[in-house]
Amino acid sequence: MSSDPTTTPVSPLVEQQVDSADTTLHNPRRAVVALGSNLGNRLETLQGAVDALEDTPGVRVKAVSAVYETESVGGPEDQPAYLNAVLVLRTTLPPSSLLERAHAVEDAFGRVREVRWGARTLDVDILAYEGVELDAPDLTLPHPRAHERAFVLAPWLDADPEAEIPGHGFVAELLGKVGEAGVRRREDVALHLPE
């Protein structure tokens, strides 16, 4: 498995910012977003995505999971390993606007959509959005496969230990069912909340 060079301090702990008195957003909702990368400087790309989402008006990154390295699931064979992470956001953007921003961030990091589940510089998926269940052509909430993917559940549990996926159960219990085969926590690298 490949590794990414990093100049950020090594921290085995998940960084969390607890700020229930955030006055920069009015009537925000909680959203959970998954990040993945298996091309280029994966760690740098994931950190860039964290920063880009934080720079979005109406979005605040409230928690960042540990980084996990995972084997590819589905899609073409012989893909490089992914780095994955999960973010918890507070946002005033509606789900459709958050999705547009997610796609814009992917595009900014050179995402190309040629092969379904193919290798990618960056994947930004909305996993859940507080109070919203949706089945639209471009967005399903909660994410339709999150409950069966260890590479989503393990970092989600880090970022939000009490998380629950509507209609499926608690993330901790779901991870216990699917197991963590092919998913490895990277203790040597970390993502950081924007200052």
The answer to whether residue 181 is domain-embedded is yes
Query: Using an 8 Å Cβ cutoff, are 65 and 127 in contact?
Result: no
Report long-range pairs for 15-19 (Cβ below 8 Å, ≥24 apart). Answer: 15/63, 15/64, 15/190, 15/191, 15/192, 15/193, 16/62, 16/63, 16/64, 16/159, 16/193, 17/61, 17/62, 17/63, 17/193, 18/62, 19/62
In a domain, 5, yes or no: no
30 is catalytic: no
Q: Which CATH number belongs to the domain containing residue 54 in this structure?
A: 3.30.70.560
How open is the CA angle 87-89-90, to the nearest 5 degrees?
170
| Residue of 4, 90, 125, 158 marked active site | 125
The count of domains in the chain is 1
Q: Is 125 a catalytic residue?
A: yes
What is the pTM assigned to this prediction?
0.83
Catalytic residue among 42, 111, 149, 186: 111
In this structure, is residue 171 part of a structural domain? yes
In a domain, 192, yes or no: no
pLDDT digit of tens for each residue in the chain (195 aa)? 344 443 333 333 333 333 333 445 678 999 999 999 999 999 999 999 999 999 999 999 999 999 999 987 665 567 789 999 999 999 999 999 999 999 999 999 886 665 555 577 899 999 999 999 999 989 999 999 999 999 999 999 999 999 999 999 999 999 999 999 999 999 999 999 877
Residue 172 forms part of a structural domain: yes
| Domain membership flag for residue 23 | no
The residue segments making up the domain with residue 157 are 29-185
Q: Is the dihedral of CA 55, 56, 58, 59 positive or negative?
A: negative
111 is a catalytic site residue: yes
